[in-house]
């Protein structure tokens, strides 16, 4: 089979021929149809410090996918050959307190497909049946291929009650844009999304009924005045990992405001904790998806009118992966999807 591999300790990925994996007794074999390129995949391509510490050379990469079940382990029940699916890419342990209490997304033994274990940038993927998420007919493969990042957006956005609230999203990358769309779908009154990239802000306006703001040219204070937000925003969704954006969010929130943080700041950063304390802010860190509550909620929202298709801006054949990565690395695209046939 074709497989996109981190073949050597250098920038790039390489297409190789690898054996089709054999499913174990509790696994399924999936014929991959579509995959999404993630920011994590860009880190692996660039071979930055994180990737060098984390990703073994020779690994098949990729973790955003949709496909079709073509093989079942002997212990697998409840799934069928030919069934369309996506899947949770976090492979959990079973012995921790978190797992044993059902909080699977917090298991400290978690390993990721395409990061620690063989991934989905291939014609076939072996996955534990526990991790398989069947796709309803209403969700096409290319949307199924980006349920992983949509799940990050849903987990972040639904951390707090959104009905009637005014929401500030910092970072108009694809996940930030999807989080803004989720916030509007879930009942937020005003949703403002900030960035300094005009292409990404324009895309945000196409995906959802939100207010895109370029903070390089417009101050958030004027936006609050225009929307008649006397005190500020009730909820912040920090998706950028930019310390300046976080500082802007702290200043823009009401007393007692709530922040969900998915963006990862670069290393250690300075934070004005006294400002956070005196404003009585609540901050929640977000990692991945709640397994499997986030999956249930996002599939239900997609079936009930949540529209995210415009966030996919580019589609390439898998053999043209280099162009796909170049497009994603350019910083102006939305989601990039690879077609594996």
Which residues are tagged catalytic?
40, 43
Neighbouring residues of 289: CB distance < 8 A, sequence distance ≥ 6: 88, 90, 105, 148, 151, 152, 154, 155, 295
Q: Encode 9-29: b = buried (16+ Cβ within 10 Å), e = exposed.
A: eeeebebeebebbebeeebbb
For residues 200-227, one letter each, b for 16 or more C-beta atoms within 10 angstroms of the residue's C-beta and e for the rest, the string is bbebbbebbebbbbebeeeebeebbeee
User: CB–CB of 287/105 below 8 Å?
Assistant: yes
The pair of structure tokens assigned to 54 is: 């984390």
Beta bridge partners of 195: 214
CB 311 within 8 A of CB 153: no
């Amino acid at each position: 089979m074709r497989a996109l591999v981190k073949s050597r300790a250098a920038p790039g990925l390489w297409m190789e021929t690898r054996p089709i994996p054999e499913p174990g007794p509790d696994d399924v074999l999936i014929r991959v149809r579509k995959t999404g390129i993630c920011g994590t995949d860009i880190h692996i391509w660039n071979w930055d410090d994180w990737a060098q510490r984390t990703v073994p050379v020779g690994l098949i990469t990729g973790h955003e996918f949709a496909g079709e079940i073509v093989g079942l382990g002997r212990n697998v029940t409840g799934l069928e050959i030919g069934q369309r699916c996506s899947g949770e890419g976090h492979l959990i342990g079973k012995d921790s307190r978190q797992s044993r209490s059902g909080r699977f997304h917090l298991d400290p033994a978690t390993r990721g497909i395409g990061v620690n274990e063989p991934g989905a940038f291939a014609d076939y993927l072996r996955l534990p049946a526990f991790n398989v998420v069947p796709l309803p007919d209403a969700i096409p493969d290319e949307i199924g291929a980006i349920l992983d990042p949509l799940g990050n957006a849903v987990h972040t956005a639904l951390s707090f009650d959104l009905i009637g609230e005014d929401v500030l999203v910092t970072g108009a990358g694809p996940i930030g844009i999807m989080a803004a769309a989720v916030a509007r779908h879930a009942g937020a009154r005003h949703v403002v999304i900030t960035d300094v990239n005009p292409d990404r802000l324009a895309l945000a306006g196409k995906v959802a009924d939100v207010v895109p703001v370029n903070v390089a040219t417009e101050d958030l204070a004027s936006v609050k005045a225009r929307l008649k937000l006397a005190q500020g925003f009730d909820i912040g969704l920090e998706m950028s990992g930019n310390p300046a954006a976080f500082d802007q969010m702290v200043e823009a929130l009401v007393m007692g405001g709530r922040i969900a943080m998915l963006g990862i700041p670069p290393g250690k950063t300075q934070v004005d904790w006294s400002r956070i304390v005196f404003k009585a802010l609540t901050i929640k860190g977000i990692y991945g998806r709640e397994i499997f509550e986030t999956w249930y909620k996002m599939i239900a929202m997609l079936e009930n009118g949540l529209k995210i298709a415009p966030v996919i801006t580019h589609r390439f054949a898998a053999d043209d992966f280099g162009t796909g990565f170049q497009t994603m690395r350019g910083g102006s695209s939305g989601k990039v999807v690879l077609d594996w046939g």
